[in-house]
Amino acid sequence: MGRTTGTTGIDDVARAAGVSASTVSRVMNGRAGVDAALAERVRTAASSLGYRPNPLARSLVLGRTQTIAVVVPDLANPTFQGMLRGVTLAAARDGYRVLVADTSEDAAAEEAIVRETRQRCDAVVLCSPRMASDVLIAAVAALDPVVVINREVPGIPGVSADYRVGIVELLEHLATLGHRRLVYAAGSPSSASDAARRAGLADFALARPDVEVLTVEAGATFGDGAAAASVVVESGATGVVAFNDLVAMGVLASLAAQGIAVPAEVSVVGFDDIPFAAFTTPALTTAAVPVGELGELAWRRLAARFAGEEPEGDVMLRPELRVRASSGPVRTVISPAAGAGAGAGAETGAGRS
Amino acid sequence: MGRTTGTTGIDDVARAAGVSASTVSRVMNGRAGVDAALAERVRTAASSLGYRPNPLARSLVLGRTQTIAVVVPDLANPTFQGMLRGVTLAAARDGYRVLVADTSEDAAAEEAIVRETRQRCDAVVLCSPRMASDVLIAAVAALDPVVVINREVPGIPGVSADYRVGIVELLEHLATLGHRRLVYAAGSPSSASDAARRAGLADFALARPDVEVLTVEAGATFGDGAAAASVVVESGATGVVAFNDLVAMGVLASLAAQGIAVPAEVSVVGFDDIPFAAFTTPALTTAAVPVGELGELAWRRLAARFAGEEPEGDVMLRPELRVRASSGPVRTVISPAAGAGAGAGAETGAGRS
DNA sequence: TTGAAAGCGTTACCAG
DNA sequence: CTGGTAACGCTTTCAA
């Protein structure tokens, strides 16, 4: 009846203003059809009591929380940080808040986490979900207002970056520079976006049969890149396309340690354009994935759904080639391998996306 | 009465199990004193109906949401990303979720955002709040379960990194290497953590009167660092302590552009140890601020409060010196300035903390 | 041990 | 235009 908790409730305001709770509610929600004088009295009472409608109670009766969940595999990954930021900023503009959940790359725990967080929200954004396709498809059905970033799910609209086209741009860039023997330092085979990249590799192979592209299994981290560098050297390739910028940085570091000049002897390109890609030595040529936009777009889909609009089709954002100093024309042929050169083993919270 | 929304509610389960809602509630909450057979029947009914207690309704009646808010000035800043991650992971372990809010460095809007998000949660973590001290003090009182990171607020327990001690470690490191003329590329005067650093500068001045430390107003970004580099060169200093890693990276880039060798001619050290500090060229010596731990600690304070424990005093985490390749012994004296060398102007979402 | 009923703080429907 | 009165979905006394 009002004074149960320390908070001032709608009844307190109603009493102070000498009206009913209904009227206070109407005034607080700006609903038309309230006598101006009364409304003013209510507003005065409300502000003098410092009344703030309890969002929880509103949510319960309204059936919406004004909150959406964003689930990411790893908050330390720049890619997901960017998506989270994009969603958060866009949602905030429309008065929505974001509940964030980090699944710690645990594909098995993912579904439970998603369901749990979804229950407290009006919708959920799944960033590069790791769960198996069948699980994902089933889960998504129960999540309804949901948008998936960077993973195709039949039936539900998704927003993704076009990794397939992006890698082709990178390959073409190197081919144009005269490279004819390249290596792709691949990511995890279980990565959906790596599959897209490999599809791009195939596209490219058809279009440019004169360019040879070897694939070496690397991974998604700096250490993986460093480890893969030796294979690159042995292969005699003049250019390497890394799964992502982190891997590229690992390659860069290992190459530098072996005294191999970039891009004079070997060109190195990454993928993603993480915030620090511009600051490596040499600055990294890469394909920029507009993670912020992906997040923003994800929000727009949700906002549209909330507004009762029909779901649109999938959106594919094309990565943008950013040519920097790490790639250049073919000059010399590197000398056939010397050592096994492992390189640094640093670990940074980033990786697959 | 149950079937209003499409969701299955407690009444549906009760009906299916042939018991009352009270019993279902008791079973779902594992409250003792329910007939084993009945309990089993309830559990069966619940799972077969896919029943999930509505967290909102529980929150309303229980008075707790199992959610805390984390408010940061800028989600693009690695420092805050780290704190957010620390809080999120720690809270998740205890079954709490995190609502995130980005104030976009808007000191004026901060208070409203904080109040708003706080209302939906059980507590709030303020990361390096930008609002004026008096506003902060007043706000914090109304927020109650609250912990502030990296900013002192009389009366409420805070967790911070000891920027004052950290910068002294950096200065001592350079002094030990033989440097006698240093410059501090300062951050924004309005930054609380920069004030702490300047206090450290004063401490150091007293302890090492033989070392000269000039202060040049720089800023918190890569561009600020690049711009400040020329002043450093002109000053004839052999070492520069940057406000943070980003500024240090800017200095590094500008120095490299001018052909000044690091650390042979000038040593450069940063602050924070952001994830990429280890990957600059040369790798950056810095003082590591344990942002993840700060976040985790913030959660612990909150968890303790929830458990009814008394608030402890402030916690100060000491930054850890990370010596890498960008700092070295004094060798040569740099030649008195040549050009104004501005340098890159890249912008990265990072900065004050 | 179990159930009925009274809220938790709002909003919305329906009379007046 | 305003005020009762039901919900929203759940937990928790209070009786039985």
The span from the CA of B106 to the CA of B112, in Å, is 11
The span from the CA of A247 to the CA of A241, in Å, is 9
Q: Give a yes or no: residue B61 inside a domain.
A: no
Range of the structural domain that residue B39 is part of: 10-53
- Percent pLDDT > 90 in chain B is 85
The span from the CA of B125 to the CA of A98, in Å, is 15
Q: What is the maximum alpha-carbon separation in chain A? A: 90
Judge if A19 and A138 occupy the same domain: no
* Of the candidate ranges A82-91, A321-330, B152-161, the one whose mean pLDDT is the lowest: B152-161
Which residue shows structure tokens 């096994």? Answer: A340
Q: Which two tokens stand for residue A244?
A: 């992502």
The CATH number of the domain holding residue B222 is 3.40.50.2300
H/E run at residue B229: helix B222-235
Count helices and strands in chain A by DSSP H and E runs: 12, 12
- Percent pLDDT > 70 in chain A is 92
Q: pLDDT per residue over B304-336, tens digit each? A: 999 988 878 899 999 999 999 999 999 755 454
CA-CA-CA-CA dihedral for B228, B229, B234, B238, to nearest 10? 120
Number of domains making up chain A: 3
Which residue shows structure tokens 């994935």? Answer: A289
Q: Give a yes or no: residue B235 inside a domain.
A: yes
Antiparallel, parallel or unpaired: β A97-102 and B97-102: antiparallel
Q: Give a yes or no: residue A59 inside a domain.
A: no
Give which of B120, B268, B291, B322 to mutate to test A binding, by max A Cβ within 10 Å: B120
Judge if A313 and A187 occupy the same domain: no
Residues of chain A contacting residue B118, judged by C-beta atoms under 8 Å apart: none
Mean pLDDT of A195-199: 97
Residue type, A167: I
Distance B107 CA to D13 C1' (A): 46
Q: pLDDT per residue over A86-123, tens digit each? A: 999 999 999 999 999 999 999 999 999 999 999 999 99
The answer to whether some atom of strand C lies closer than 7 Å to the beta carbon of A11 is yes
Judge if A71 and A177 occupy the same domain: no
> Which pLDDT band, with edges at 50, 70 and 90, does B7 fall under?
confident
- Of the candidates B91, B82, B69, B89, the one whose C-alpha atom is nearest the C-alpha of residue B303 is B91
Q: What backbone phi and psi angles, to 5 degrees, belong to B149?
A: -100, 135
Mean pLDDT of A294-323: 93
Judge if A191 and A148 occupy the same domain: no
Judge if A285 and A296 occupy the same domain: no
Task: Give B45's contacts (C-beta < 8 A, 6+ positions apart).
Answer: B13, B16, B17, B51
Residue type, A146: V
pLDDT of residue A352: 57
Distance A317 CA to D16 C1' (A): 66
Residues of chain A contacting residue B64, judged by C-beta atoms under 8 Å apart: none
> Which pLDDT band, with edges at 50, 70 and 90, does A332 fall under?
low
Contact call for residues B28 and B35 (beta carbons, < 8 A):
no
- pLDDT at residue A345 greater than cutoff 50: no
H/E run at residue B82: helix B78-93
Closest residue to C13 by CA to C1' distance?
A: A22
Antiparallel, parallel or unpaired: β B97-102 and B123-127: unpaired
- pLDDT at residue A321 greater than cutoff 50: yes
- pLDDT at residue A351 greater than cutoff 60: no
Residue A36 CB: number of other CB atoms within 10 A?
7
C-alpha R_g of chain A = 26
pLDDT of residue A190: 85
Q: Which two tokens stand for residue A290?
A: 């507009």
Q: Give a yes or no: residue B348 inside a domain.
A: no
Chain-chain contact of B55 with A99 (C-beta, under 8 angstroms): no
Vertex A265 angle, CA A238 and A175, to 5°: 35
Q: pLDDT per residue over B76-119, tens digit each? A: 999 999 999 999 999 999 999 999 999 999 999 999 999 999 99
The span from the CA of B60 to the CA of B65, in Å, is 8
pLDDT of residue B1: 36
The span from the CA of A248 to the CA of A246, in Å, is 5
- Where are the alpha helices (H) located in B150-290, listed in sequence order? 163-176, 192-207, 222-235, 245-257
Contact call for residues B353 and B80 (beta carbons, < 8 A):
yes
Judge if A210 and A83 occupy the same domain: no
- pLDDT at residue B225 greater than cutoff 60: yes
Mean pLDDT of B60-80: 96
B342 interface with A at CB cutoff 8 Å = no
CA distances A116 to A151, B2, B12, B95, B97, Å, are 21, 21, 20, 11, 10
- pLDDT at residue A204 greater than cutoff 50: yes
Mean pLDDT of A6-34: 94
Give which of A276, A284, A299, A324 to mutate to test B binding, by max B Cβ within 10 Å: A276
A20 interface with B at CB cutoff 8 Å = no
The span from the CA of B52 to the CA of A117, in Å, is 12
Distance A13 CA to C13 C1' (A): 22
Mean pLDDT of A66-72: 98
Q: What is the maximum alpha-carbon separation in chain B? A: 90
Residues of chain B contacting residue A275, judged by C-beta atoms under 8 Å apart: 76, 348-350
Q: pLDDT per residue over A231-284, tens digit each? A: 999 999 999 999 999 999 999 999 999 999 999 999 999 999 999 999 888 999
Q: Give a yes or no: residue A344 inside a domain.
A: no
**Across the interface, which of A65, A120, A275 has its CB nearest the CB of B348?**
A275
- pLDDT at residue B282 greater than cutoff 60: yes
Task: Count Cα atoms within 13 angstroms, Cβ side, for A122.
Answer: 22
- pLDDT at residue B339 greater than cutoff 50: no
**Nearest chain A residue to B67, by CA:** A99
* Of the candidate ranges A43-52, A337-346, B5-14, the one whose mean pLDDT is the lowest: A337-346
Which residue shows structure tokens 């149950």? Answer: B2
pLDDT of residue B341: 37
B138 interface with A at CB cutoff 8 Å = no
Give which of A5, A7, A51, A56 to mutate to test B binding, by max B Cβ within 10 Å: A56
Judge if A19 and A136 occupy the same domain: no
Q: Give a yes or no: residue B349 inside a domain.
A: no
Task: Give A343's contacts (C-beta < 8 A, 6+ positions apart).
Answer: A226, A227, A229, A250, A253, A254, A257, A258
Contact call for residues B234 and B258 (beta carbons, < 8 A):
no
- pLDDT at residue A2 greater than cutoff 60: no
Q: Give a yes or no: residue B353 inside a domain.
A: no
The mean predicted confidence, pLDDT, of chain A is: 91
- pLDDT at residue A6 greater than cutoff 90: no
- Of the candidates A128, A130, A249, the one whose C-alpha atom is nearest the C-alpha of residue A185 is A249
Distance B20 CA to C5 C1' (A): 12
The mean predicted confidence, pLDDT, of chain B is: 91
- pLDDT at residue A341 greater than cutoff 50: no
**Nearest chain B residue to A253, by CA:** B279
Q: Looking at per-residue confidence, does A67 or A343 come out higher? A: A67
- Mapping DSSP to helix (H, G, I), strand (E, B) and coil, where does residue B123 land? strand
Chain-chain contact of B275 with A349 (C-beta, under 8 angstroms): yes
Judge if A255 and A298 occupy the same domain: no
Judge if B105 and B152 occupy the same domain: yes
Q: Give a yes or no: residue B346 inside a domain.
A: no
- pLDDT at residue B175 greater than cutoff 80: yes
> Which pLDDT band, with edges at 50, 70 and 90, does A347 fall under?
very low
- pLDDT at residue A16 greater than cutoff 80: yes
Q: Which two tokens stand for residue B351?
A: 């900065």
**Across the interface, which of B56, B101, B275 has its CB nearest the CB of A97?**
B101
Q: Which two tokens stand for residue B49?
A: 């109906």
Q: pLDDT per residue over A273-305, tens digit each? A: 999 999 888 999 999 999 999 999 999 999 999
Chain-chain contact of A101 with B88 (C-beta, under 8 angstroms): yes
Nucleotides of C under 7 A from a protein CB: 1-5, 7-13
Residues of chain B contacting residue A346, judged by C-beta atoms under 8 Å apart: 278-279
Give the global pTM.
Answer: 0.91
The span from the CA of A219 to the CA of B218, in Å, is 39
Judge if A116 and A255 occupy the same domain: no
The CATH number of the domain holding residue B40 is 1.10.260.40
Judge if B255 and B217 occupy the same domain: yes
The span from the CA of A266 to the CA of A327, in Å, is 8
> Which pLDDT band, with edges at 50, 70 and 90, does A353 fall under?
low
- pLDDT at residue B127 greater than cutoff 70: yes
Judge if B314 and B241 occupy the same domain: no
- pLDDT at residue B338 greater than cutoff 70: no
**Peptide bond just before B189 cis, omega within 30 deg:** no
